[in-house]
Structure 1
Amino acid sequence: MPTLFTKIINKEIPSFCIKEDERYYAFLDIRPISPGHTLVIPKIEIDCFYDLPDDYIGDLFVFAKPIVKAIEAVVDCQRVGSMIAGLEVPHAHLHLVPIITMERFSFSFATEASLDSLATMHKKICNRM
């Protein structure tokens, strides 16, 4: 059975896609820790991040780099933190989270985002890509 993320990649579930290529897909999190929170996922279904092939791990960070730069350009933050947790969806993924302090770098701050706020952030980030 396809994962939630595979359904997003296959456009069975709508998303605010930031960037896509033949191996990766990046989109805004609908329950962001902070505005601009983006998920980067490989298109292959592998549960644990460190079970990905070595080249996928390295290339995923290269794929994510311009996304991070775009987020930093449009979101008021000290930096964009990266997090690999992977407990909620059994599909390897990287969280890119704009942060001001480490105390705010926690899923306890995640809240449902409105479609309007996601659309606005999507446009801002994509315009910087």
Structure 2
Amino acid sequence: MSSVFSKILAGEFPGRFVWQDDDVAAFLSIAPLRPGHTLVVPRREVDQWTSADPDLFAKCAAVAQTIGRAVQRAWDAPRAGLVVAGFEVPHLHIHVFPTWGMDDFDFARADQNPDPAALDDAAERIRAALAEL
């Protein structure tokens, strides 16, 4: 069965994409820890990061690093957070977000009802930062 991320990648469900190539895409989380919280996802369905082909995982990590630089720049954050949790959706995904402290890593504090206009703005800020990089 296709994951929700596969449906987003296929255009069956909406997504605010900030990165797309043949292997990996990145789009905003619908439950952000912080504005700019982005999910880096391989196009190929892989359940766990430990099962991923090493080259594919390396590509995901490289894209996550680029997105991390962009969210740091877009929000003038001192750090970019990175989490591979894997319990929410059975499809490898890397969470990347601007962070100011360890509290920002608390998924219980995620915004479960973000303003769509704020998500659109965050996507534009990331795209602009990527263009600058």
Class of the TM-score when normalised by the shorter of the 2 chains: over 0.9
Q: Which residue of 1 aligns with 2:45?
A: 45
Following TM superposition, the consecutive aligned residue runs of length 4 or more in structure 1 with deviations greater than 3 angstroms are none
The answer to whether structure 1 residue 75 and structure 2 residue 88 are counterparts is no
Q: Please state how far the C-alpha of 1:94 moved relative to its aligned partner.
A: 0.4
Listed as ranges, the matches of 1:1-129 within 5 Å are 1-111=1-111, 112-129=113-130
Q: TM-score, normalised by structure 2?
A: 0.93
Amino acid corresponding to residue 109 of structure 1 in structure 2: R
Alpha carbons 1:34, 1:109 under 8 Å: kept: no
Over residues 96-115 of structure 1, what are the superposed CA-to-partner deviations in whole Å (9 max), with x where a residue is unaligned?
A: 02111112211011012111
Structure 1 segments unaligned to the other structure (5+ residues): none
Distance across 2 between alignment mates of 1:66 and 1:94: 12
Per-residue deviation, residues 32-86 of structure 1 (Å, max 9, x unmatched): 0011100000011111111000111111111222211111111142211110001
- Mean CA deviation greater in 111-120 or 67-76: 67-76
Give yes or no for contact 1:97–1:105 (8 Å, CA) kept in 2.
Answer: no
Which letter does structure 1 place at the counterpart of 2:54? Answer: D
Shift of 1:92: 0.6
Aligned length: 129
Distance in structure 2 (CA, Å) of the matches to 1:97 and 1:121: 11
Cα RMSD after superposing both structures: 1.0
User: Does the 8 Å CA contact 2:24/2:59 hold for their aligned counterparts?
Assistant: no
Q: TM-score, normalised by structure 1?
A: 0.95
